[in-house]
């Protein structure tokens, strides 16, 4: 039983970590510190992990971030970051 609780805990940690990853990637992309190809891929990966993990509802904002990165829309990325971070 303890192991089960432990595993849920791990899943939650992993999901939080992917959510944090998405934010940091977006922030670095917005400042021109990481290439677009990497940012797109990392955000897609983060959204997949979130959708299949403990926090599926967190996948949607990450998808929005990725779409904004794909459009090259820095203003939208900035706005989304403040929105997500505010939650």
Q: Which residues bind another protein (CB under 8 A)?
A: 6-7, 9-10, 13-14, 16-18, 20-21, 24-25, 28, 31-35, 37-38, 40-42, 45-46, 49
| Closest distance of CB 19 from another protein, Å | 8
Residue 25 or residue 80: which is nearer to another protein going by CB? 25
DSSP string, 7-71: HHHHHHHHHHHHHHHHHHHHHHHHTT-S-HHHHHHHHHHHHHHHHTSS-GGGHHHHHHHHHHHHH
Residue 70 or residue 83: which is nearer to another protein going by CB? 70
């Amino acid at each position: 039983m303890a192991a089960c609780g432990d595993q849920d805990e791990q899943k939650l940690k992993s999901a939080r970590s992917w959510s944090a990853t998405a934010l940091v990637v977006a922030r670095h992309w917005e400042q021109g510190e990481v290439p677009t190809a990497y940012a797109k891929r990392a955000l897609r990966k983060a959204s997949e992990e979130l959708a299949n993990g403990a926090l599926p509802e967190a996948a949607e904002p990450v998808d929005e971030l990725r779409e904004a990165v794909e459009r090259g829309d820095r203003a939208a990325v900035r706005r989304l970051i403040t929105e997500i971070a505010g939650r």
